[in-house]
Structure 1
């Protein structure tokens, strides 16, 4: 399949690309070569080949989501610049509409 200027302009519009006129010829050539390579894949015999959902068989080693008390409130707050006995105090970041 040969990529023409109209197809290139359509793809550029969809991808929100600004293509300079001096780049058009090279991009047309590159896209034509890519499509030819992809078209060549049609020659492969894929009968009996299961489609992949992932590229590897690795499985995430996730820990169980179990709530544990790992640090006391006092230990967590001891280095905070400002706090009360339960929470960090931080500057206001939102203004109230009055």
Structure 2
């Protein structure tokens, strides 16, 4: 019994990421399945990313800045999370909060 797609489809998407596979396979059939697959594939496999995000949100919601809007908090968290990717260095949040002049 031959599976759907078979060997030809498997060889076509052998080097593709799972997200690209689902995007190409479900583009014509069910858009909802593609969105569900994107959401599931985006979930981190460990809790480290979630813990890092919560730590950043906790840092942003300090006593001095607890009146920020949700949009501003999300924007600041996005900047903190992606800063290390751009600069290729980690941010020491505790050091930056206690002694900001020593980090620059």
Fold agreement, TM-score > 0.5: no
Shorter-chain TM band? under 0.3
Is the helix fraction higher in 1 or 2? 2
Q: Which has the higher contact order (CA 8 A, sep 6+)?
A: 1
TM-score by length of 2: 0.27
Q: Which protein has the larger Cα radius of gyration, Structure 1 or Structure 2?
A: 1
